[in-house]
Chain A
Amino acid sequence: MAIEFKPSPSLPPPSNAVGPVAWVRKNFFSSPLNIFLTFFSFYILYLLIPPALEWAVFDATWEGTSKAACTAGGACWAFIRVRFDQFMYGLYPATEYWRVNVAAILLVVLVGMFAIKAINKLLLSIAIIVVYPIIAYFLFAGGVLGLEVVETSLWGGLFLTMLLGIIGIVASFPLGIILALGRQSKMPVAKSVCVIFIETIRAVPLITILFMASVMIPLFLPDGMNFNKLLRVLIGITLFSAAYMAEVIRGGLQAIPKGQYEAADAMGLTYWQSMILVILPQALKLVIPGIVNTFIGLFKDTTLVYIVGMFDFLGIIQMANHDANWLGTTTEGYAFAGFVYWAICFGMSRYSMAVERKLDTGHKRN
């Protein structure tokens, strides 16, 4: 008769291997070098944090109408408070701020509706990508339903930054996908067009493209024919970012095993079906960090429109620094700008990590 095999029971780990004390020991005090680094880091924090708090909070001035009011020796946040509306909306008429707010709230609500399960995601996407931009455009520009016309040259501040960033991101992403697929294509003409486009755009600094868009293109156009500078700049930013996006996505496409392409082919899926249903969902998921990298880069690169005379968020802060009433508030301005850019980019980064976790099907066990 065979002997019955019984696996030995699993035992709990020793108590010094789990719990908070073990965690602190393992992460902070595991070796002499680690102990030194722990104390050294705490010392650096001790040197930096109290003075920073003193400047930014305890000694700061929050009220006032000019730099002269800031006498406490700390940060002069009164400057930000007084100029806050301008930082948000640029030179947009104050009576019309509500239009920007309505468009912003509408966007947040629409995007938030993705969380509702019962909603048709396709219709919602169409609403956001096709219908919303039309509504937003007429809200911003006016000229219909009795809304006062607001020239795009008056658009500015964080409003303009978000506008450039969001449109740039939304438009460059699909364009990047098409360029990446084109570059991998077996059709020689499509392939060369994509390669030439990507390699040309990537080889030129964004400033050059913005100058081309704002200064040179009007020179080439026939007299009387002209189109909006904001639109030209937007196209420039989008094309620039699409070239980078294409290369990131191409990296993802190359990482997909050949077997996936073959399995899709063997089933009789057409090229576009196999790309959209099989290859791209996997490739894009792989390169989310790279895509978000490009998005964040694009968002911050929008500050360069200052060079061609548009007052985005950073631009309008720099302009305010030159106000005679507020001379000497450069630090506060940049600190505020830095904080807002950081908050937005950090948000994007965290969101992308959440998406990555949600899409991870590799090791999840139900």
Chain B
Amino acid sequence: MTEQNMALAQLEPGEEAIIQFSDVNKWYGEFHVLKNINFSVKKGERIVVCGPSGSGKSTMTRCINRLEEHQKGQILVDGIEMNDNLKNIEAIRKDVGMVFQHFNLFPHLTILENLTLAPIWVRKMPKKEAEAMAMHYLERVKIANQANKYPGQLSGGQQQRVAIARGLCMKPRIMLFDEPTSALDPEMIKEVLDVMIQLADEGMTMVCVTHEMGFAKTVADRVVFMDAGEIVEANTPHEFFENPQHDRTQLFLSQILNH
């Protein structure tokens, strides 16, 4: 990483980071999947992470709520260090919503029950209150009329919007998106992106792994490009797309933009 990029992956002194990676390394067995990741996100920032498959972008994102464990270095989320301490992990997971590529809604529960599960059991919210809040978020993702259906009865795009609403029901301080549109039919991508753009406009801190470069251009504060387990380049969308510094970034952009 160049000096300039290093500076962009890091924060100005005095700025408060909500997510802070310091020299983070991770291995899958012998395979070194994350190499010396130094990276921070400040409150309200929208980060888009992109890169070829196998570059470690999902893994890095999943380290933020410890769905993956890192073996070296330090990750601070909201000032709390992610380590083996279950209390810390549970505390962070309450405040970090996550949206997955394959939605991962619970098929045995209705849409409404999917949304109220965590508020009721983790936040100990009364059922009535949780349901009212769930309906509020379902309206925001324009799907309130499906509240009593089961996930299997909804289209992919609808399921992903439900998944976003489910994440929001915990009133998270950070939302993580792990390729939220990759499993969708082209016709449905827009409805999900629209919800994400709306969320970004409201000032939610977002880390989003995606190949939707249009989305990156519109909403991202910074675009992070990863390859082979490293952050190659991190820059504002304008600089990133117009003036990529690394040949690897240039190659990647030429491959995904010119087809």
15 A-B pairs in the complex with CB atoms less than 8 angstroms apart: A266-B93, A266-B97, A267-B93, A267-B117, A267-B118, A267-B166, A268-B93, A268-B94, A268-B122, A269-B117, A269-B121, A277-B121, A361-B108, A361-B151, A362-B107
Complex contact A361–B118 (CB within 8 A): no
Rank and list the top 4 A-B pairs by shortest CB-CB distance, nearest first.
Answer: A268-B93, A263-B104, A267-B118, A259-B104
Is the C-beta of A328 less than 8 angstroms from some C-beta in chain B? no
Complex contact A266–B121 (CB within 8 A): no
Is the C-beta of B252 less than 8 angstroms from some C-beta in chain A? no
When distances are taken between beta carbons in the complex, the residues of chain B under 8 Å from A259 are: 100, 102, 104
Q: In the bound complex, what is the Cα–Cα distance between A268 and B32 (angstroms)?
A: 28
Known: A259-B102, A268-B93, A364-B150. 18 other contacts (CB 8 A): A259-B100, A259-B104, A262-B67, A262-B100, A263-B105, A266-B67, A266-B93, A266-B96, A266-B97, A268-B94, A268-B118, A269-B117, A281-B108, A285-B108, A361-B107, A361-B150, A362-B150, A366-B153
Complex contact B90–A268 (CB within 8 A): yes
Complex contact B152–A362 (CB within 8 A): yes
Interface residues of B in 144-176 (CB under 8 A from A): 148-153, 166, 170
A365 CB to nearest chain B CB (Å): 6
Complex contact A270–B150 (CB within 8 A): no
Is the C-beta of A117 less than 8 angstroms from some C-beta in chain B? no
Complex contact B153–A273 (CB within 8 A): no
Chain B interface residue count, Cβ-Cβ cutoff 8 angstroms: 28
B174 CB to nearest chain A CB (Å): 12
Complex contact A359–B108 (CB within 8 A): yes
Is the C-beta of A363 less than 8 angstroms from some C-beta in chain B? yes
Q: In the bound complex, what is the Cα–Cα distance between A268 and B150 (angstroms)?
A: 22
Complex contact B107–A282 (CB within 8 A): yes
Is the C-beta of B249 less than 8 angstroms from some C-beta in chain A? no
Is the C-beta of B9 less than 8 angstroms from some C-beta in chain A? no
Interface residues of B in 114-161 (CB under 8 A from A): 117-118, 121-122, 148-153
Residues of A within 8 A of B (CB): 257, 259-260, 262-270, 273, 277-278, 281-282, 285, 359, 361-366
A356 CB to nearest chain B CB (Å): 13
Complex contact B106–A267 (CB within 8 A): no
When distances are taken between beta carbons in the complex, the residues of chain A under 8 Å from B40 are: none
A292 CB to nearest chain B CB (Å): 19
When distances are taken between beta carbons in the complex, the residues of chain B under 8 Å from A361 are: 107-108, 150-152
Q: In the bound complex, what is the Cα–Cα distance between A191 and B170 (angstroms)?
A: 33
Interface residues of B in 64-96 (CB under 8 A from A): 65, 67, 90-91, 93-94, 96
Residue of A nearest to B176 (CB): A266
Complex contact B108–A282 (CB within 8 A): yes
Residue of B nearest to A270 (CB): B90
B158 CB to nearest chain A CB (Å): 14
When distances are taken between beta carbons in the complex, the residues of chain A under 8 Å from B105 are: 263
Q: In the bound complex, what is the Cα–Cα distance between A366 and B153 (angstroms)?
A: 9
When distances are taken between beta carbons in the complex, the residues of chain B under 8 Å from A269 are: 117-118, 121-122
Q: In the bound complex, what is the Cα–Cα distance between A191 and B106 (angstroms)?
A: 27
Instruction: Pick from A262, A265, A268, A359: contact of B170, CB below 8 A.
Output: A268
Interface centre among A259, A266, A281 (most CB of B within 10 A): A266
Interface centre among B91, B108, B170 (most CB of A within 10 A): B108
Is the C-beta of B98 less than 8 angstroms from some C-beta in chain A? yes
When distances are taken between beta carbons in the complex, the residues of chain A under 8 Å from B90 are: 268, 270
Q: In the bound complex, what is the Cα–Cα distance between A277 and B65 (angstroms)?
A: 21
Instruction: Pick from B104, B121, B153: contact of A260, CB below 8 A.
Output: B104
Q: In the bound complex, what is the Cα–Cα distance between A259 and B107 (angstroms)?
A: 12
Q: In the bound complex, what is the Cα–Cα distance between A366 and B149 (angstroms)?
A: 8
Complex contact B117–A363 (CB within 8 A): no
When distances are taken between beta carbons in the complex, the residues of chain B under 8 Å from A277 are: 117, 121
Residue of A nearest to B91 (CB): A268
